[in-house]
Amino acid sequence: MENSFGKLFTITSFGESHGRCVGVIIDGCPAGLPLTEDDVQKEVDKRRPQTAAVSTSRTEEDKVEILSGIFNGFTTGAPLSLLIWNKDIDSSEYQKTRHLLRPGHADYTAFIKYGGFNDFRGGGRFSGRITATFVMAGAVARKLLNLIDVEVLAHTIEIGGVKAQPKPPDDVRKNVDQNPLRCADPEAAREMLQVIEQARDEGDSVGGIIEGMAFNIPVGLGEPVFDTLEGDLAKALFAIPAVKGIEFGSGFSAAQKRGSENNDPFIIKNGKIVTTTNNAGGILGGISNGMPIVVRVAVKPTPSIASRQQTVNIEKMESASLEVRGRHDACIVPRAVPVVESMMAVTLCDFAIRAGIIPEVIK
Amino acid sequence: MENSFGKLFTITSFGESHGRCVGVIIDGCPAGLPLTEDDVQKEVDKRRPQTAAVSTSRTEEDKVEILSGIFNGFTTGAPLSLLIWNKDIDSSEYQKTRHLLRPGHADYTAFIKYGGFNDFRGGGRFSGRITATFVMAGAVARKLLNLIDVEVLAHTIEIGGVKAQPKPPDDVRKNVDQNPLRCADPEAAREMLQVIEQARDEGDSVGGIIEGMAFNIPVGLGEPVFDTLEGDLAKALFAIPAVKGIEFGSGFSAAQKRGSENNDPFIIKNGKIVTTTNNAGGILGGISNGMPIVVRVAVKPTPSIASRQQTVNIEKMESASLEVRGRHDACIVPRAVPVVESMMAVTLCDFAIRAGIIPEVIK
Amino acid sequence: MENSFGKLFTITSFGESHGRCVGVIIDGCPAGLPLTEDDVQKEVDKRRPQTAAVSTSRTEEDKVEILSGIFNGFTTGAPLSLLIWNKDIDSSEYQKTRHLLRPGHADYTAFIKYGGFNDFRGGGRFSGRITATFVMAGAVARKLLNLIDVEVLAHTIEIGGVKAQPKPPDDVRKNVDQNPLRCADPEAAREMLQVIEQARDEGDSVGGIIEGMAFNIPVGLGEPVFDTLEGDLAKALFAIPAVKGIEFGSGFSAAQKRGSENNDPFIIKNGKIVTTTNNAGGILGGISNGMPIVVRVAVKPTPSIASRQQTVNIEKMESASLEVRGRHDACIVPRAVPVVESMMAVTLCDFAIRAGIIPEVIK
Amino acid sequence: MENSFGKLFTITSFGESHGRCVGVIIDGCPAGLPLTEDDVQKEVDKRRPQTAAVSTSRTEEDKVEILSGIFNGFTTGAPLSLLIWNKDIDSSEYQKTRHLLRPGHADYTAFIKYGGFNDFRGGGRFSGRITATFVMAGAVARKLLNLIDVEVLAHTIEIGGVKAQPKPPDDVRKNVDQNPLRCADPEAAREMLQVIEQARDEGDSVGGIIEGMAFNIPVGLGEPVFDTLEGDLAKALFAIPAVKGIEFGSGFSAAQKRGSENNDPFIIKNGKIVTTTNNAGGILGGISNGMPIVVRVAVKPTPSIASRQQTVNIEKMESASLEVRGRHDACIVPRAVPVVESMMAVTLCDFAIRAGIIPEVIK
């Protein structure tokens, strides 16, 4: 396992879905940042399901505790440790079906890799619950990015085939928290909700696409040739369970564009060099160019579905069928929106520290 | 800059497009691998343009030299250093236009990040030529993967809007080297060639999509939650200039699928657990599941185009226009195919060593 | 700050002396290791002062809790998190004297480095208490090393100028826990105790030397030229507060030896290649040679002393004097013995995993 | 193998003693540093033996070439690659005695670790020649440290039991290059020379101690708890073949001191906080305190001696005897002095960049 990410701002995730807790260590957070448990709680709360229609997940309140790294309300330069105790856990269903490999889940790969010793309850380390640790780290990263006026913003742009109309950033900012879908297009949001409810009623699930943006990025973040901004953002985002595709700017559609169309012309605006379009998604040569970073993330439909599925009993090595019971989201896309924001924030924060833009001590 | 990739099988790239050489250090290659310069040369030659129609690039022969790490024809466990001397370089055009930021290139971001000290000639470190260092490393990685029967195979599946018909792996293997497009569908290849020629004639360029596959992958590669197989493959592939999107298995199309449709059912076949479909692209929970790894990579159209483009003179801080002269590929997709293979091989090799599947000494 | 150590077996330390807890995350522990809190508690208890004569430290019981990474009594391959809650803490003295830089401590350097935001209470991150996190990690490392029959053993060989007579390993093993000094020479131990008591009575402190040994080491651990066995062991041991010198085998005395005297002749014994002497301390070229690893660690006298010392009030920037009050060990050497063992175990375990000698899954 | 060192200023060493070359890649060197091959050559020349009396080593001139990373006389931010081609190599003696394990060398450990595939000629990767790559990296690091007025200075303080009189830094600076021993005490130097000549005449060798100092160090370098200044300096210095001990400040002698004696009192001098003594060797809590860094390095006697030694023929697995022929230094201490300086410079430079004291671009 490799549960750390980031070179100078390094997060280390630990904990399991049905274990005692989930938590994260943040090493390399500059000293002098004002930080309270509430700062982090606020972000973690965004991960909670907004409506029973979308999600039937645990209703437990995830209460954040900071165990180290703060003193008198400020970060100290020592590692921050943040933790959420697990509650409200019934693992009996997982015990009963433990040898039935859930399709689309890590049951099989984890079983083989860890010799059957992995904690399978609720998916263990592979549970969506682990993303709470990403969000805790993201909350700290966002506070640091605030210091240099960088804003990270994600929203749902597609669910179950329903696409949101493109909206200008201001509308996204305003609308994203207005509906449980975290979609800036209210009309599309309504349709998405119907699609999700229908899938759920049919014992099925749907996927979607999240767009992440970052504004006011200084020019020069990214450390090519390997630690490119795209590369490290992608690595960070692929750590979110269910993400199966990533694209920046014009992304896959660039494959169908001409160079003359896809190149972003440079102009001078208010004394600054900007591009008139942003097909690059704010990144040229793996380095931020000052335009908004734009990334889109494909989220597969929740693999846990109520419908009967074909699978294998790995103990008996024989065919079997499985109905996944318990509380599962028919669509995890809305809950993944703050997670996308968090992993973007963590990555950008690390690059900003590497570039010396966020200093070792906040004054 | 951060020019190293890989945890135990670590490659470090160096050199510039118009400098003295491009090269790569490979640290962590097991001892006892038979290796000659020809083994590497063979792979590097694949990067050369196959036809003037596709590319008008330097015609120089890239001759690989191994400077360290082999003895009596075998790797020694010491770092391998491989190098190609640069030749046939005329940098005068770059000198003349050095303050004109080429749209779609790293000129602007590199200028700011490195304070104007970057070697801008031919794009310097941001040139496609740097991928020759990836291919040298990939050649070694592939020899190591051969030992455990892993095969990496990439091919062009779309160029300038022309999509290849899906072909079974055997056809891809057979056809990929039969045309300069590295496209397994000969008919599509012919169309692609026309599209490229037309773009070139119009002073323009086109992009495309490459599919990479890896066969016979052992179950268990990948180190979640952060060093996932998807995450590290994506990071490796985003190091290739012009790549702007990555997806695994059903990828972005998963966003439109139901869970019942996207989940790959498990069955037992010849005593082994396999899935009947491969929407996961061979990866579950960030870990290989034994099915073929399938990744698709979006390549933007070559930013160097002959048509006049709007830009900025960064020295004078004023608007300007630019026609990029010199030798440029109207489509780099075919030449990127072996680079995709190489970065996949490097990543998979690193994970195989981490998992102990390729040992420290080859016997 | 950089609070992680180890490449594949990676420990991340967190917590402060007077904060809520001290803890450690262990990432890369193979799955399948039987592990209980008692296994770790046993080692942590060794860090407790053995007698009031040597130490007047907190009498609190350090109770180890494992928060993640085990399931049904075995490690799962997921990160282990181990934690000790702090109790019995009175920080008032530190508050009062917070601007008086304690000589020999990190007060000044930490104040400057962290801009005055560091948690100064009890030394914060620089407290000897942090070594409890090393011992927790060491306990797990030792269980892993047990699997390959590697034994790590440390003992006090000098305190306050009193040198122990060299003893054969069997005597060390037998005697080390027989006295509170952890000294295998009972006579010297008695003298050491007197020296410590005298220093304590005079408001002063003494230092000493610890010898660490590791037996049954496989040939081949160490990854030169930079990740040498000496280099990484030294780095690990210098993380222990108060350590100011490290030597291997004949160490500093080698400077006075002839080559003919210092070289260890090779012979064959029971079909194995061994050396007749061990001036190399078990390491040649940075790689273990199968002989016992022998390292000696110089521990400075405890900087916290009751006598009045000259210092500076950093707030007022004026001269001041200071008597350090509170509970302090007049000699920390005996308590550092298990810490030396722990950091040796952590380092050797990491190298054994890197060399593939301890596999990813314990069977 | 792990041939990279440094977190942000990362050096990667490659090459073998009798291979084609030795070289180093420096990644993370800020852009804008004026750098010529002469800058580096000057330092590399210091590694050459100063007199046949001390050394009978290869007389070849080591000519430094910079292959990448500079443009118009300045560093570009891209990786620097520096290389010395090997010449004047006769490997026949090594071929003849290849199965005779040279005592005190890495022959045995490398043979086992690399399965006999290691390049044994001249010690291969384990040769002192590899330190030329350290010195090339050190030359660049020193130029960077110059920018912040940090000076690194090493000198011989003991050889073959002959101890130099302690000298103030000014005398060291002045005298160190006045004799081939690099000893600031001319009288001791003469004695050392005799001791070396005598050892050589008797087919033997001697070791010694080097003291390294660094002046004008900013307060705050070092990243505890693991990346301490002591720990990383030690790791860097143990990469130098033959180094078997390291101590900082009062070092091993601290074990015999009282706390009241070893603690360095703080005072204010010229408005700055300093200590009246420097038993800490400039490091408190693993962080620089602004006082000179003082480290002493024990160098074992050259293992290559002309006298007959007992050993093992590893092919035949039988006892054997060996006289090591060829050119060998009877004492490598003087030649190791610039290597100690170099590894100190590399380490300090990395920490200065991590602390943001040396920026990404030199202006």
Q: Please report where in the chains the tokens 């006011």 appear, as a residue.
A: A216
Measured between beta carbons, the chain C residues lying within 8 angstroms of D243 are 230
> How many other CB atoms sit within 10 Å of the CB of residue C60?
13
C176 near C184, Cβ under 8 Å? yes
For residue A353, the chain D residues in CB contact (below 8 A) are: none
Neighbouring CB atoms inside 10 A of A174's CB total 12
Q: Do D48 and D62 form a contact (C-beta atoms < 8 A)?
A: yes
pLDDT value, residue A330: 95
At C230, is the secondary structure helix, strand, or coil?
A: helix
Residue-wise DSSP of C80-131: EEEEEE--S---HHHHHTTTBPPTTSSHHHHHHHTTT-S--GGGGGGSGGGH
Report the residue from D1, D10, D75 with minimal CB separation from B77: D1
Q: D73 in contact with B at a CB cutoff of 8 Å?
A: no
**pLDDT under 70: residue ranges of chain B:** 1, 50-60, 88
Section A216-221 average pLDDT: 98
3-state SS class at D136: helix
In chain C (363 residues long), the average pLDDT of successive 10-residue segments reads 94 97 98 98 88 58 96 98 90 88 97 97 95 98 98 98 97 94 97 97 97 98 98 98 98 97 98 98 98 98 95 96 84 97 98 95 92
Over residues A56-69, mean pLDDT: 81
**Closest CA relative to residue B28, chosen from B160, B134, B184, B141:** B141
CB A342 within 8 A of CB A43: yes
Query: Looking at chain D, which subunits does it touch, using at least 3 CB pairs closer than 8 Å as the criterion?
Result: A, B, C
Q: What is the DSSP letter of D286?
A: T
Nearest alpha carbon to residue B209 among B146, B141, B127, B301:
B301
**Angle of CA points B8, B12, B18, to nearest 5°:** 165
**How close is the nearest chain C Cα to the Cα of D252, in Å?**
5
H runs (alpha helix) in D245-298: 259-262
Q: Name beta bridge partners: A85.
A: A21
| Structural contact between residues A123 and A12, judged by C-beta atoms closer than 8 angstroms | no
Pair A302, B255: CB distance under 8 Å: no
Over residues A14-58, the pLDDT tens digits come to: 999 999 999 999 999 999 999 999 999 999 999 887 666 566 555
What pLDDT, on a 0 to 100 scale, did the predictor assign at position D284?
98
CB count within 10 Å of CB B45 equals 13
Q: Among C19, C300, C14, C31, which residue's Cα sits nearest to residue C136?
A: C14
Q: What share of chain D is helix, strand, coil (3-state, %, to 5)?
A: 30, 25, 45
In this structure, are strands B208-215 and A208-215 parallel, antiparallel, or unpaired? unpaired
Question: Does D50 score more than 80 pLDDT?
Answer: no
| Contact present, D84 and C265 (Cβ < 8 Å) | no
Is B77 close to D113, i.e. CB distance below 8 A? yes
Report the length, in residues, of chain D: 363
H runs (alpha helix) in chain C: 37-46, 92-96, 107-113, 131-147, 169-175, 186-201, 229-238, 259-262, 333-354
Distance CA C238, CA C229 (A): 14
Burial of residue A17 (CB within 10 Å: 0-12, 13-18, 19+) is: buried
More confident residue, D326 or B141: B141
pLDDT exceeds cutoff 80 at A266: yes
pLDDT score recorded for residue A363: 86
**Per-residue confidence (pLDDT) for residue A167, from 0 to 100:** 95
Q: Which of C123, C115, D287 is nearest to A360 (CA)?
A: C115
The closest alpha carbon to D22, from B78, B17, C229, B85, belongs to B78
pLDDT digits (tens, 9 = 90+) for C31-67: 999 999 999 999 999 988 766 656 655 555 899 999 9
- Is B283 within 8 Å of B289 (Cβ atoms)? yes
How open is the CA angle C232-C234-C239, to the nearest 5 degrees? 100
- Other CB atoms within 10 A of residue C33 CB: 24
Going across the sheet that includes B21-27, the strands are B4-5, B10-15, B21-27, B80-85, B64-68
Predicted local confidence at residue C89, as pLDDT: 79
Q: Nearest-CA distance from A186 to chain D in Å?
A: 45
Is B319–A268 a contact, with Cβ atoms under 8 angstroms apart?
yes
A105 or C1, higher pLDDT: A105
Q: State the Cα–Cα distance between residues A311 and B263, nearest whole angstrom.
A: 10
CA distance B216 to B148: 8
A325 pLDDT exceeds 80? no
- Say which of C105, C235, C314 has its CB closest to residue D234: C235
CA atoms lying within 13 Å on the CB side of residue B92: 2
What pLDDT was estimated at residue A242? 96
The contacts of residue C301 (CB under 8 Å, 6+ apart) are: C160, C199, C204, C205, C206, C207, C331, D254, D257, D258, D259, D261, D262
The pair phi, psi for residue D340, each rounded to 5°, is -60, -45
Q: What does DSSP say about strands D21-27 and D10-15: parallel, antiparallel, or unpaired?
A: antiparallel
Site of tokens 């965004």 = A46
B355 contacts C360? CB cut-off 8 A: yes
Minimal C-alpha gap between A156 and chain B (Å): 11
Closest listed residue to residue A339, CA positions, set A18, A21, A24? A24
| DSSP result, B57-102 | -------EEEEESEETTEE-SSPEEEEEE--S---HHHHHTTTBPP
Q: What is the DSSP letter of A295?
A: E
- Residue D36 in 3-state DSSP? coil
Output the DSSP codes for B192-244: HHHHHHHHHHTT--B-EEEEEEEESPPTT--BTBTB-HHHHHHHHHHTSTTEE
pLDDT at B1: 65
DSSP reduced 3-state for C311: strand
C-alpha A103/C-alpha A91 separation (Å) is: 19
Check CB contact under 8 Å for A360 and D360. no
Write down the ipTM of this complex.
Answer: 0.97
Q: For residue A238, which residues of chain B lie inside 8 Å, CB to CB?
A: 228, 230-231, 234, 286
Tokens found for residue B99: 């303050």
D359 Cα distance to chain centroid: 26
pLDDT at A65 over 60: yes
pLDDT for D24-49, tens place per residue? 999 999 999 999 999 999 999 998 87
> Taking CA atoms, what residue in A is nearest to B330?
A259
Task: Check residues D55 and D123 and name the one with the higher pLDDT.
Answer: D123
